[in-house]
Each structure stands twice: as C-alpha cells, then as structure tokens.
Amino acid sequence: METDISRAFIEAIPKTDLHVHLDGSLRLSTLIDLARESGVELPSMTEAGLREQVFKDRYADLGEYLVGFAYTCAVLRCKEALERVAFELAEDNLAEGVRYLEVRFAPQLLAHEGLSMEQTVQAVTDGLERAKRSHNTSERVKSGFDLPFEFGIIVCAMRRFSKAMGEHYHQLLTALELAPRRDVYAIASLEMARTAVGLRDRLGLPIVGFDLAGEEAGYPAYYHKEAYSFAHSHFMKKTVHAGEAYGPESIFQAITECHTNRIGHGTFVFSADMVQDLDVADPQVYTERLVEYIASQRITMEVCLTSNLQTTPSIESMAMHPLGHMLEHSLSVSICTDNRLVSNTTICDELELVSKNIPVTHHQFRNLVIAGFKGSFYPGSYTRKRRFVRKVIERYDELAVRLLPDPGGAA
C-alpha cells in the first residue's frame, strides 16, 4: 500500500495547515517555561514526564485527549505568552515547508480582566507577523528561490462552555444564570462573531475566518446560526467542526444553517447509520446526496488523521479512516494537524501517513497538497491568491520532476 512518495519529497514541497489550534500546538519546552513563569502547576516539569502522563501517542477517549488543554490555556493568558507561542508555531511550520498557515483559537477562552479579546488577537498577530517578516525578508525569498510565507487567523466560538473554562465564560454564565444554556451559548458565539468582524474591519487584524469548536454531540450547530448569519453577511469566511463526533446531519447543519465554506474533520460524512432525523426517509440516499453536494461545491474537508485516530475509537487504524473514500468521491481534502503538541505530530508526519497507508496516486497526492492553498481563507485579494497558488503549483511540479521516480505516472 505504501507509495513511492518519499519523506524527502514531502519535506521539500510547499504545504499548508488550515486546521491547527494554537492552544494545542505549543512546544513542550515552552509549556514548561511558561508554567514556571506564571506559577501554573503541571503534572510533571519534564518533557518525558508530560509525554508519559498528559500528551500521549494514544488516548483512551476524547476526554483524555482534552486534558492537556487545561494546562496550555492556563499559561496562555498573557500577551507575551501568546506572542511567543504564535511566533514559535510559525517558525516550526516554516522549518517543515509550510508556506500558508491558518491559526485558530478562542479569544473568549483566554480573555480576562487584564487581557481583552482584542489583545489576544493582536498578540497572536504580532507573533505570526514577526515570523513572517523574518522569513519574507530572507535572501532565499527575495531571490525567488523560496516562496513567501502567508498566514491568517481563525477565531473560534464554542459549542458549549462552563464557568470553569475561563473568566469571560464565568461572567457570562453568571450574568445569564436564568437563561436556557443553549441561549447563552448562542449569545456568546454572536458576541465572538461581532468582535471578529470588528477587529478585522476596524483594526485591520488578519482574521480570515470564523469557526465553531468544542463538544459536537448534543450541541448542534443550529444553536449558533445567528452568529454565522452575522459573519456571513459581513463577508467573513466560515468553517465548522462537524462530523467529528456526530454524523452527516451535523455536516448538513454546518452547510445549511451556518453557510460554511469548509468542514473541520468531517470524519463521519459517509455514516448513513448515524442519521437520526426521522423525517429523513432514506438515510443512505440523504448521505449520498450530501457527499455529492460537498464535492460539487468544493467545500474543503480539513482532515486531521492522527487526531482522528486518537479520539475516535471506531477508527482503529489508518485503513479504517474515511480519507480513502473521500478521495474516491473526489472531495476537496486538505491534510491538517489539528494539535501539534496534543497529537504529537507535524504536517509532514500527517502527509507521510497518507503516503504510507492510503493507495494514493501522484495526482491525488498533488491534489491533497494544492487543495490546502486553493481552499485557504487567504487574507489578500482573489487575484493575489491565484498568483500565490500558481507559484505553489509551479514549485510543486518542479520538485516532483526532480524527486519523484515517475512524476507523471499513476495519474
């Protein structure tokens, strides 16, 4: 099943990561440094200890996977920490050939009395911009030998939250104690959408998209349709975590209620047996039509292989992952990391998983890589984006001729 697409080729080609959470992608050494500086107590103060106790290769379930975020979020509640982590994340991506990066996080989760949502976004912007300036002024880029680096920020609203998840959420839940919880979640996501549009339009911050993250089952996307309608009416691009822990209906809601441009994960897009709506006469036909719609409208699926293997017990191996079916149905798929620290992965690792475990042709692999650039919420004009994508394609094809044994084969 392993292809002749080598690790050396994967490392050389330009790449994207469209689905990477800032608070799940710290360097382990930085987490320890920031914990010492901020007085946050970790289960271990060594990298080996944290790998053994918190950030593992395999997790028992999603609950265990999420444990580490309590520690990472705790150390990210100041501007200096956010800027440092954003800068290092960009540097780590640059080092492995990523040339377009979309970093996502939830400002409401990190905000408190001494740190506004605006300040969280500005700090992340500052860190990413510092890495971009350093790379784009290098002689390799100026001479045309290397591609420039571009980035965008995606802000996340949460499907659900509790008082324990942050000061901002605590205050909101306290103020609306008597309101139905679903209404409170909707109010918070609308606030986040309005803030995101305001920061983009008023301050020019590079917010390129709006996302809905968090617990999926039991907390449907339609709770948040007002927030998405606001983002949609202000020309902000949208993605939704959907089909990660719930079935095709969740993806359908993301498309019809939230006007989404991309789907985060989409793991259960083919799972007709998970359709629960009694008004759906034929779940299989419903699912087939959904898949065809996604394919025809080029709604990009942000697929995170290692994360799915770690959090979805029914996917016991790469052979059971639906990526192969996605490719068979000509879906637009971009391979992403989700959480570099929590999943102990990189974008090169994820693409190597594809090359070693999925019977993918050179043409399909090329499409996977280019889909990240084409499906990106690029912050510049569409004309600029097309020029950027064209340069990427030219570079990819040049490297394929040099590094693949038969670049035109198995098309």
Contact 249, 289 (CB under 8 A): no
Selection from 305, 349, 308 nearest residue 92 by Cα: 349
2 in catalytic set: no
Contact 306, 349 (CB under 8 A): yes
Residue 140 CB: number of other CB atoms within 10 A?
Answer: 11
State how far Cα 28 lies from the chain centre.
Answer: 19
Measured between alpha carbons, how far is residue 137 from residues 100, 132, 147 in Å?
16, 8, 11
Selection from 67, 66, 72 nearest residue 26 by Cα: 72
State how far Cα 193 lies from the chain centre.
Answer: 18
Contact 238, 261 (CB under 8 A): yes
Q: Which residues of 267-284 are buried (b: 16+ CB within 10 A; e: fewer)?
A: bbbbbbeebeeeebeebe
**Sign of CA pseudo-dihedral 176, 223, 322, 347:** negative
Selection from 14, 32, 338 nearest residue 147 by Cα: 14
Q: Which one of 83, 102, 150, 244 is the catalytic residue?
A: 244
- Structure-token match 């901002």, residue found: 168
**Phi/psi of residue 334, nearest 5 degrees:** -115, 130
Q: Which residues of 176-185 are buried (b: 16+ CB within 10 A; e: fewer)?
A: eeeeeeeebb
**Residues acting as catalytic residues:** 244
